[in-house]
A and B are shown apart, each in its own frame.
Chain A
Amino acid sequence: MTSSVDTPPPPDRLNVLVFSLLSFCLIGFGLWLVSAGKSYREAYVNKTQGWRVGSSHSVEITLVKEDKPNLACASDRTLAGLNCEYATDGTPRASASADRSQILQPYNTIDNTLLFGAGLWTSADLQGELPAARFSVTCNYNIRGLAKTASIRFSSTAAFSPLQQAVTVGTLTDCVIVR
């Protein structure tokens, strides 16, 4: 018995599309390995002090004294015991009047990062006379979560406008006016 001569010869090379797909996966895996072994992430976090839920950071917030009654947000959600003063439909929330230190307000840091914070106005340094001109305060910002679908306003007479980005939510403690 001899092997059949009619058997078609095996293909001598891989289909080029399969080869290119395989190379794509290999390059991807290789790069992933290289990047996983690199210290980019750690270095980046150290550099930017990455804002993550559960972390605390020192922030410098820009304010005018009228911001206390003017700044407000509207959302039906309660996050880690913190909530906006208004419900999504713009009506005051029933639970909002109880403890002002749990009421979230939108603030901008001096490098223009929007955040939701609660408790800023209860700090000792902000209980007295506030500066007449624009001023800034430094606080410890303890991030508790992320708000995606709230609305905000920066004037008590303005309408609420929806957020265009997710915003961190947290408490602001030990706030001191920068003098």
Chain B
Amino acid sequence: MNALRNVWRSLVARRPVFSDPATGWIVLLTIFAGSVLRIQRVGYPFFFGFDEEQMVTAARQFLEGVPDTGECCHPPLSKVMISASILMLGDNPMAWRFPSLLLGLQSIVLVYLIGKSLFNDSRAGWLAAAFLAADGFAIAFSRDAFPEGMMTCFVLWSMLAAITARGWAGVVTCAILVGLAGSIKWSGIQVGLPACVAILLLRRVPWYSIFAFALVPLVHLVVWMMGLSLIGHDSDPMSVVEEIRLRQSRHLGFVRFANPLESVWYTWFYIYKPIVLKAASEAGRVRLASSVSNVLLFFTSNLCLAGLPILGAAYAFSDRVRQRFAAWFDEGQGKALLILGVSWLSMMLLWFTGRISSYWYHYLTPYGFAVLLTAGVVSRLDRRHGKVVLGFVALLLLVFVYFAPVWGELPISVQGAHRRLIFKRWQ
């Protein structure tokens, strides 16, 4: 009984504490509801959703030991994870989507830890967890066997390791995680840049420890070697490098705008072409998994992102702004804002170049950092304007409830779905 009492006390001590107690309860409720919406009926429908056929076919081929022709170009880690899931749970839709769900839920934990560590304030962590839990973009990709959500989770793991590193072991762990993120999709390697910035800026480990990032290509190579050996391909380093180059050129050779779902990076800021990942009909009603974001959170995060360079410029040139900034953010929190800004920017770099095909889902990983930034800003706001924050999280929960049917495949009438997905390009 004593042990149970201690566990209970420990849990109560870690509950979200905000200026207004109601905010904490709403945050908890949002996290719970977001998690349930991700888990419920994830195994349905029984047919393939968005790009699942490619991933699952390749995952099966990894198990069968035949060439992975199911999916043309991406590194093998996400497909191998689906293979492992099929081994564990059988070849069924639940197993196909299990890694996405597992890592999607883990992302909620990770943004909590990153927010809390970066801003040294548990409110920032709780808000980040609630924000991500209540966002349709993250929800839909937690329910589809697609690598983007998995990569986002590994990117967040990498940043958490960089932020919490207190010695070489932490930096080496970070480098391994960056290598794994890049072994899901090559764009994941971009997280190496903000990870280095975080390590250098936070100064908790010697600057030269960033040489540990030399491990990143090695980890990437080892994952490829393991993957290719599973499908009977030559797995010596030179053959693997040759195969990587072949697949890379294939990937870079995609004809741009041949796919009507393709969207340019600047259209992501106004949710121009979100993708419906799954659609099924059932007794006159439809079940949809739309990747439309939580509009309130999305546009708030846009404001925070836009405010960051403006604030930075004003900070550099105005004493008054510096004084006012100091009243809101201490030095550590200022660094946190900078790290999150750099993280968002780094994950966007590839898409800014416009050299390869880009889709709405490519914004998922940068968006994770935008959500963290928003959580950091709102947590500061809570100190002085608790009621405003209460109103914001309450409104966020209402938007979540309204959109939940079209994010989490709850049965809804066609008219109801159209009311939520109001634009033609959203449907």
Q: List residues of chain A with CB under 8 Å of any chain B CB.
A: 15-17, 19-20, 23-24, 27-28, 31-32, 34-36, 38, 40-41, 43-45, 47-48, 50, 146, 148-149, 163-166
Contact = CB atoms under 8 A, between A and B. Distances in A.
Contacts of B421: none
B354 interface: no
Given A35-B43, A146-B64, A41 B94 contact: yes
B413 interface: no
Contacts of B67: 164
Interface string B223-248: 00000000000000000000000000
29 contacts: A15-B164, A16-B113, A16-B117, A16-B160, A17-B173, A20-B109, A20-B110, A20-B113, A23-B106, A24-B102, A27-B106, A28-B102, A31-B102, A31-B105, A32-B89, A38-B43, A38-B94, A40-B92, A41-B89, A41-B92, A44-B93, A48-B46, A148-B66, A164-B67, A165-B64, A165-B69, A165-B70, A166-B61, A166-B64
B39 interface: yes
B370 to A, nearest CB: 21
B105 A27 contact: yes
For the complex, would chain A's binding face be called helix, strand, loop or mixed by DSSP majority?
helix
B310 interface: no
Interface of B: 39, 43, 46, 57, 60-61, 64-67, 69-70, 88-95, 98, 101-102, 105-106, 109-110, 113, 117, 157, 160-161, 164, 170, 173
Given A24-B106, A31-B39, A31-B98, A47 B89 contact: no
Question: Which of A20, A47, A48, A149 counts the most B-chain CB atoms under 10 A from its CB?
Answer: A20
B355 to A, nearest CB: 30
B106 A41 contact: no
B102 A17 contact: no
Nearest to A34: B39
A75 to B, nearest CB: 13
A150 B231 CA distance: 15
A176 to B, nearest CB: 29
B65 A148 contact: yes
Nearest to A27: B105
Contacts of B89: 32, 35-36, 41
